[in-house]
Amino acid sequence: MSSPDEYESLRQAILDGDEEAAAAIGHEVAKAAENPLGAVEVASEVIREVGDKFGTGELFLPEMVLAAEAMQAFMAAVAARLEADAEGGASQKHHKVVIGTVQGDIHSIGKNIVATMLGASGYEIVDLGVNMGPMDAIEAAEKSGASFIGLSALMTTSMPYQKEVIDLLDELNQRDDFFVLVGGGPVTRGYADDINANGWAPDAAAAVRLVDRLASGETTPSDTTLVYVEGE
Amino acid sequence: MRLERILDVLDRAHNGPVYKEREFNLNVVASTIAAKVKKFGLTGTVDTENPIGSDDDLADRFYQAGFEAAVEIGLLCSDTNRVIRFSAEELQGLVDEAPSEFWLGEGDQKVHFRHRGLDDPTPPVWTVPLSIVVSEDIFVDMVHGLAAIEVVDCLEGPSLETVYGRPLRSGSPYEHLAGRYQADLMYEGIKRAGRVGMPMDAIGSSTTHYGLLGGYGVEGGYRPKHDLVTILSIGDFWTSYESLFKLTQVYVAGGEHISASSWVMLGGYPGGPEGTAVASVAYTLLMYAVFQGSRGGVPPFDISYMGNSGTRAQWALSVSNQAITRNTNTVYHSIANQVAGPGTEMLLHESLVGMVTMAVTGVTNVVGTRSAGGRLTDYLTPLEHQFAGEVFKAAAGLSREQGNDIIRKFIPMYQDQLTTKPDGRPFQELYNIDTMTPIPEWQAMYDKVKQQAIDAGLPL
């Protein structure tokens, strides 16, 4: 699959949130002789476009969720082929992200949007839901082999639990094991910096770019100079 | 409070239909709202050139769409994954039970909340501030400064950043302590302002029920007969044990008045402005029904900037307000969600727009101001609250057409800054705390924007 028409049908399947069509295209891509990375790149561009349009109010949450699910169906269909090609030198994302809304906070929408966008962008998501205890986040990251812990807070009174996770990692001498990312309505870049988080982003599309940057190896978790990506 | 209604709600929260999160959000909320928008011919009715419309028939169709959506959607309890749902007859009966008027407060500070209609000169009620976090060391000064404003009727916030010097953590014993501690500090500030007896909304510093358990109906705490308990459900047709605990605590403490509130996201599961307005109506009706609200309201936020000062959100706000105030006799409440901070003209312009819209569309009570979007500690001052209250009361009695003409002049002044959100400056930089007066620069901005409002036709 490499012709403009074929790419357009993949693009349309994702934009339409057509999970079945996206999966079918994914299976074709997996069987084809060509390198599948071209199609994966097209799909990635589409989902970034969807995220950006959601951020500017041109697309709404139901459309974004369905597009992300179609993207995930496509990626699932090509996963085995990518694995096989990876042994031959091609690359793909393997990072896992443990994500949740912190303790004392039961707001889920923002966390779900970020999880959806990261999942659609190829990251494996371990979603611990809401009211997530600090140690639960750390233990889940350990068990799953995650590289990232994403902490959402929508209330000023739940933000101290973001710091609590970082403090626990310090005290457990595990600060170098995970990148800790923080976000949510009242969570400013300044606050993220103050608590020694590794990353901060103001919205879901920016969060994907943030994780991409950190996953590229430009820094380590123990370097707590805040990495941030502004919204577009 | 009627115990049988509480028990009925709890029963439904434990025996209602079961849904998983995705299914409820997409297949129930999003699908139902989209279907009602289509059924009632609401697609494409958004008019960003005229954020405050004057079409009574359109407002009524939004009400009908919202009512049907409320019956079909219900509220999902996040702790049980079951939906609290009512038949049309039940919902109508429960909304009809909501009072059309009530009093809060004591002595010469008593405040009359009563249903307002469209273009209604009945004075609205101004409650300040939203639960924006301030430092513990200036908390009483801030309350004093806010309570001293003549046009302020009631207090809700601010919120404490710390309790006895310790970080205030949600759901922890610190929050339980903060409930009673905030009451002490509020009474001290009110006393200094000479407004003993002023009504309050409980409890700004505690979003969970723990603060209410610690500070409402206990000796020296918030007063069950004179104060209002704010139940802020978690958004987009969800509720939780937290909110239901608040309901039962009001009953247990012998309380009488609940503010049944939440928000809907423009751009979220309800979709665009039309769907958001339908969702606002539907969720408001359900909040009155589930929580026996004396005051209710579910205003929209635009998810792209987390505020509602822009044209799309103002339109959704206006039409949903009109739908409720034309078709019920309830005491309706709303929130103008500004994003700019104190010390900026933008905050005053946003406030002017939001408060004019509220006044002419029948809102009884607004809680505000959301200075700096509520995202920064100490970023609020009394002055923007004075300005917003003056506008709110002056605009009561204007027609919707007059209101629309005014806000159309001001929205373009800030529309392109809604996503950049100027922070402004904190209280400590904008006020002389000893004299509780604004610095000349901030005072001059107030004077300038007030003159702009007068020139635009607002009878300030």
> Cβ A160–B267 below 8 Å, yes or no?
no
Residue of B nearest to A204 (CA): B304
Write the CB contacts of A62 (distance below 8 Å, at least 6 apart in sequence). Answer: B26, B30, B269, B271
Torsion of CA A193, A194, A196, A197, to 10 degrees: -50
Nearest to B259 by CA among B229, B235, B280, B287: B229
Contacts of B269 in chain A (CB under 8 A): 60-62
Compute the radius of gyration of chain B from its Cα atoms. 20
B60 by Cβ neighbours in 10 Å (0-12 / 13-18 / 19+) ranks as middle
Contacts of A52 in chain B (CB under 8 A): none
- The arithmetic mean of pLDDT across residues B113-132, rounded, is 96
Contacts of A157 in chain B (CB under 8 A): 159, 168-170, 175, 205-208
B310: left (phi over 0), alpha (psi -120 to 50) or beta: beta
* Residue A204: predicted pLDDT: 87
β A199-200/A227-228 pair status:
parallel
* Residue A92: predicted pLDDT: 53
Same domain for A104 and A127, yes or no, is: yes
Q: DSSP per residue over B315-347, as a string?
A: HHHHHHHHHHHHH---EEEE-----SPTTSHHH
In this prediction, does ipTM exceed 0.95? no
Cα–Cα distance, B223 to A36 (Å, whole number): 67
Residue B278 forms part of a structural domain: yes
How many angstroms separate the Cα of B174 from the Cα of each of A132, B164, B202, B210? 18, 9, 16, 9
How many angstroms separate the Cα of A118 from the Cα of each of A72, A75, A183? 10, 13, 14
Cα–Cα distance, B179 to B199 (Å, whole number): 16
β A96-101/B437-438 pair status:
unpaired
Same domain for A78 and A44, yes or no, is: yes
Inform me whether the pLDDT recorded for B337 exceeds 60. yes
Write the CB contacts of B13 (distance below 8 Å, at least 6 apart in sequence). Answer: B77, B79, B80, B82, B84, B239, B244
> Cβ A161–B269 below 8 Å, yes or no?
no
Distance of CA B421 to the CA centre of its chain: 20
Supply A63's token pair. Answer: 């459309």
Closest CA–CA distance from residue B133 to any residue of chain A (Å): 7
Cα–Cα distance, A16 to B232 (Å, whole number): 35
- The arithmetic mean of pLDDT across residues A50-71, rounded, is 90
CB B98 within 8 A of CB B294: yes
Residue of A nearest to B303 (CA): A57
The contact set of B with A (CB < 8 A) is 21-22, 25-26, 30, 78, 133, 159, 161, 167-172, 175, 205-208, 234-236, 240, 242, 265-269, 271-272, 275, 302-304, 306, 312, 374-377, 419
Write the CB contacts of A199 (distance below 8 Å, at least 6 apart in sequence). Answer: A179, A180, A181, A182, A192, A210, A211, A213, A214, A226, A227, A228, A229
Same domain for A110 and A182, yes or no, is: yes
> Cβ B30–A160 below 8 Å, yes or no?
no
* Residue A5: predicted pLDDT: 77
- The arithmetic mean of pLDDT across residues B86-108, rounded, is 98
> Cβ B207–A186 below 8 Å, yes or no?
no
- Residue A158, phi then psi, degrees to nearest 5: -100, -10
Residue B21 forms part of a structural domain: no
Range of A119's domain?
96-228
A109 pLDDT band (50/70/90 cuts)? confident
- Residue B155, phi then psi, degrees to nearest 5: -120, 140
Residue B411 forms part of a structural domain: yes
Q: What is the average pLDDT value for chain B, to the nearest integer? A: 97
CB B356 within 8 A of CB B348: no
> Cβ A161–B30 below 8 Å, yes or no?
no
The per-residue pLDDT for range B280-304, each reduced to its tens digit, is 999 999 999 999 999 999 999 999 9
Residue of B nearest to A116 (CA): B22
B356 pLDDT band (50/70/90 cuts)? very high
* Residue B159: predicted pLDDT: 96
Same domain for A102 and A202, yes or no, is: yes
The per-residue pLDDT for range B125-175, each reduced to its tens digit, is 999 999 999 999 999 999 999 999 999 999 998 999 999 999 999 999 999
Tally of domains within chain A: 2
Compute the radius of gyration of chain A from its Cα atoms. 18
Record the pTM. 0.94
Same domain for A40 and A58, yes or no, is: yes
Name the domain boundary from A87, A119, A151. Answer: A87
* Residue A94: predicted pLDDT: 74
Same domain for A79 and A119, yes or no, is: no
A230 pLDDT band (50/70/90 cuts)? confident
Contacts of A161 in chain B (CB under 8 A): 169-170
Residue B71 forms part of a structural domain: no
Peptide bond into B33 cis (omega under 30): no
Q: DSSP per residue over A170-211, as a string?
A: HHTT-TTT-EEEEESTT--HHHHHHTT-SEE-SSHHHHHHHH
Write the CB contacts of A69 (distance below 8 Å, at least 6 apart in sequence). Answer: A17, A19, A120
Strands (E) located in B376-419: none
Torsion of CA B424, B368, B125, B259, to 10 degrees: -170
Same domain for A112 and A221, yes or no, is: yes
* Residue B94: predicted pLDDT: 98
Cα angle B46, A114, B132 (rounded to 5 degrees) comes to: 70
- Residue B92, phi then psi, degrees to nearest 5: -60, -45
Nearest to B336 by CA among B296, B381, B392: B392
Supply B437's token pair. Answer: 């007066």
Return the biggest CA–CA distance within chain B.
Answer: 60
Beta bridge partners of A232: none
> Which of B161, B265, B275 is nearest residue A109 as measured by Cβ atoms?
B265
Beta carbon pairs, A and B, within 8 Å: 88
* Residue A93: predicted pLDDT: 58
Q: DSSP per residue over A62-74, as a string?
A: HHHHHHHHHHHHH
CATH classification at residue A132 = 3.40.50.280
Inform me whether the pLDDT recorded for A2 exceeds 70. no
Closest CA–CA distance from residue A99 to any residue of chain B (Å): 16
CATH classification at residue A53 = 1.10.1240.10
Same domain for A66 and A107, yes or no, is: no
Same domain for A104 and A193, yes or no, is: yes
Inform me whether the pLDDT recorded for B13 exceeds 70. yes
Cα–Cα distance, A122 to A124 (Å, whole number): 7
Closest CA–CA distance from residue A181 to any residue of chain B (Å): 18
Residue B49 forms part of a structural domain: no
Residue, of B382 and A35, whose pLDDT is higher: B382
CATH classification at residue B191 = 3.20.20.460
Same domain for A47 and A141, yes or no, is: no
Tally of domains within chain B: 1
Inform me whether the pLDDT recorded for A90 exceeds 50. no
The per-residue pLDDT for range B313-323, each reduced to its tens digit, is 999 999 999 99
The per-residue pLDDT for range B63-88, each reduced to its tens digit, is 999 999 999 999 999 999 999 999 99
* Residue A55: predicted pLDDT: 82
Same domain for A63 and A24, yes or no, is: yes
Same domain for A54 and A148, yes or no, is: no
**What type of residue sits at position B239?**
T
